[in-house]
Chain A
Amino acid sequence: MTVFRAFAPWVISLAVLLLLPAVTSGSAVSVINVIAIHIVFALSYNMLLGQGGMLSFGHAAFFGLGSYAAIHAMNAIGDAAYAGTGFWAHFPVFLLPLVGFAGGALVALVVGWPFCRRAGTAFAMITLGLGELVATGTQMFPSVFGGETGVFSNRMVGPVWFGLELAQPADVYWFMAFWVFAAVLAMWAFTRTPLGRLSNAVRDNPDRMQFIGYPPRNVRFLVFIASGGMAGLAGGMAAVNYEIVTPESLSLLASGLALLMAAVGGLGIFYGPIVGAILVTVMNSLLSDYTDAAVLYVGLVFLAVVLFAPSGLAGGIEHVRQAWHGKQVAAKAPRWLAGTLSVTALCMALVLAVELVYLLSHGTDKLADTLGMELDASSPLPWAAVILLLATGYGLWRLTAKSLEATS
């Protein structure tokens, strides 16, 4: 039973990975492939922040440099395969993420030591500096980073493994499925190792570490390298997926994305970043089809999570799961219902307000058009609706809060 408990998540996720293509259409697959990349990226970020307590603003540097390593390797494979000789001629594209890993880890190894002296704000600032420098620096060396147009390549070269031609997104999916599963497993395993435990210890109380025989810096440094490598691995996956790498992939925006995904999903819980990666990626690539304020909504979701759900979405899931094991679902269900209702009401109010402002400032509103609604920002009616929704949401909120105090 306990054994099953331990393996259930892996069996299930494996099954999901195997069944997904059967139930999804073409366009979904390409988004799923991106999600896979982001899952690894976000988890690698959480190795730093969630597990090791190091807030980084330059994580994309490792992702991007890993990506570049992989794409250059891909070109090498192409050339070697054309010539038919050399090491790269026998190197399958399938294994390129390993090159990415090596790249990312190497960079972390080179720059990491001075960074890891302290965690907290100092670390955040120094990684910010690193991020800015790398992002600006890439524009200076076109021969390596391909300047604005980046470095592009073709993944259909070299030895083919498992009959994966990697021609269509559908092929790439299997590549992604393998690597996302392997990477997640690896990072989960890492948390179970002595070093993984020590990284948690360093996060909780660096001062005590020395008195159990560990200089915090060493532990941080090793975690930093591992995390940089994993980010590079994600970069390698990206290189194969897009077949092009541009300087944007190491920009501060990309670093922010990692932070966004990890925090929204939940830093404390291992699978949190996975949830975050899925949500944020979907929002990023689909939301803008329906509204022009897409970016704003992503930001608001992030703010809401930081303010009201510090443990992220995964925190909520855990909450439910524990209630389930504790057989308290029935007791808590009504409160949850009320809470959900209030949140939905507040969200609707917010969305309506935003779209109205958009209508006022831009004359048209995409969301209204897609919904086929006739919005008129000049009339008081919609604004009244906003107020009403706000009131309802707030009322319900107070209600649930009261019932909480009553029970506890």
Chain B
Amino acid sequence: MVKTIFNRFAVSLLLLAGAANAADPEPVRFALIDPLTGPMSVVGQPALEQLKFTADRLNEEGGIDGHEIRIVGFDNKINPQESLVQLQKAIDDGIRYIIQGNGSSVGSALLASINKHNQRNPEDRVVYFNYAAIEPSFTNERCSFWHFRFDANADMKMNMLTDWVAGNDDFKKVFLINQDYSFGQAVSEAAMRMLKEKRPDIEIVGNIFHPLGKVKDFSPYISKIKSSDADVVITGNWGQDINLLIKSASEYGVDIPFLTYYGNTPGTITQVGEKGVDRIYLISEYHGDFNDPEIAERQENMYAQTGWDLYPRVSVMLEMIKKAGDKAGSVEPVQLARALEGLRFKSMAGDVTMRASDHQIQMPTFISVLKNNMSHGAEGTDFNFHEVAAFNAEQATLPTSCRMRRPK
């Protein structure tokens, strides 16, 4: 108690000093540990650019509790071991906030390592903000006070997808195609389980796995889908595996919806273009309609400045961190983390909450489909995702098995 009062006192002093002369309080730094070089940088760079883009805006509004926001990129080549080396570098640089998203393997490594670090170094804690690693266990059995997830986890997404499928009576036959590794298997397992309880009459006409990123020619898989005459395909594929899948689908004139998690990976729209129209369905935290002119303007500026599209999730994450910091009146990790628990926020998509019990964000989610001639195209094209269904935070939520252990 005394300590916090003292802190507030100290901070307000610093603020006064800042007001008096230009000597600002020292900046608060965030380390983004993601692939920034090599082929996979396509998923890391957009996040880095978005963070910087948003940071500039927030700094004009005074940064976090008067501290300027600085984003530092650490390249992990999407390799878990390398990530831990980079994590150690960041920590030794005195950075206490880690941001990462790509690859549940990296996420798992960081989560485990950061937990151990905080347990072994009670005096300097590190907090991990996760914007895309959607492995459910991170906010269930493996949940941790030091980890916050700003994306709906795989099960939540599947829950909404299956709700949507179940709600549409034209869908009688579902085909599942996924990459043959833990995530792909989880997706297929969840889909089968949820569809069975929501629409027992729906028939799973196919459930196949193909190795991760090794398939060059998807036509054999497509002809399987075709011969099964399914009404809808559900896939957790990402990267080349989604591009190639959609391309051969259109080549063979398979005109059924492909419900995807990652239909919006940078490059997909460029690659798939017209072929994806009315074919790629996407479940994500936002859509490409940009009805709100302010957000639309942001999208335009973002693309003009960085060559990447707006990354709503990442932007929201940083804004919520700022709000928490302002609320806590501190950039000290434990206090900021406490303030972030249960924090409510109004995002472009609606009301968002960081659930205290498992640090899993609760946010509105949309299902959208790729359309042409959109007013705000993605990747400099005229294509973008148009909303077809919306779920508010309450519909999106799922219970958690997390039993959070908090620092005293």
Contact = CB atoms under 8 A, between A and B. Distances in A.
Interface of A: 25-27, 30-31, 34, 136, 139-140, 142, 146-150, 152, 154, 156, 167-169, 238, 242-244, 246-249, 253, 284-285, 288-289, 292-295, 362-363
Given A243-B113, A244-B113, 6 more contacts: A139-B180, A152-B108, A156-B120, A248-B79, A289-B74, A289-B75
Contact of A26 (B79, B84, B92, B307): B92
Nearest to A166: B120
Interface stretch (B155-163, B181-189, B250-258, B317-325): B181-189
Interface in B207-247: 211-212, 214
Contacts of B116: 154, 156, 243
Contacts of A142: 182, 185
Nearest to A362: B307
Interface of B: 36-38, 41, 74-75, 77, 79-82, 84-86, 88-89, 92-93, 103-105, 107-109, 112-113, 116, 120-121, 135, 137, 180-183, 185, 211-212, 214, 307
14 contacts: A26-B92, A30-B88, A139-B181, A140-B180, A150-B80, A152-B112, A167-B120, A168-B121, A243-B116, A244-B112, A244-B113, A246-B80, A248-B79, A285-B89
Given A140-B180, A148-B183, A30 B109 contact: no
A102 B152 CA distance: 43
B38 A148 contact: no
Most B CB within 10 A of own CB, among A31, A285, A288, A363: A288
B108 A27 contact: no
Contacts of A247: 105
Contact of A244 (B80, B92, B181): B80
Contacts of B212: 139
B85 A285 contact: yes
A246 B85 contact: no
Contacts, number: 107
B112 to A, nearest CB: 4
A242 B81 contact: yes
A262 to B, nearest CB: 19
B182 A246 contact: no
Given A30-B85, A167-B120, A248-B79, A149 B108 contact: yes
Nearest first, the 7 closest Cβ-Cβ pairs linking A and B are: A147-B182, A27-B92, A149-B108, A288-B75, A30-B88, A26-B92, A152-B112
A299 B169 CA distance: 56
A168 B120 contact: yes
A244 B307 contact: no
A363 B185 CA distance: 40
Contact of B109 (A152, A167, A288): A152
Contact of A288 (B36, B108, B113): B36
A27 B81 contact: no
A244 B104 CA distance: 13
Q: Which of A147, A168, A247, A249 has the most CB of B within 10 A?
A: A147
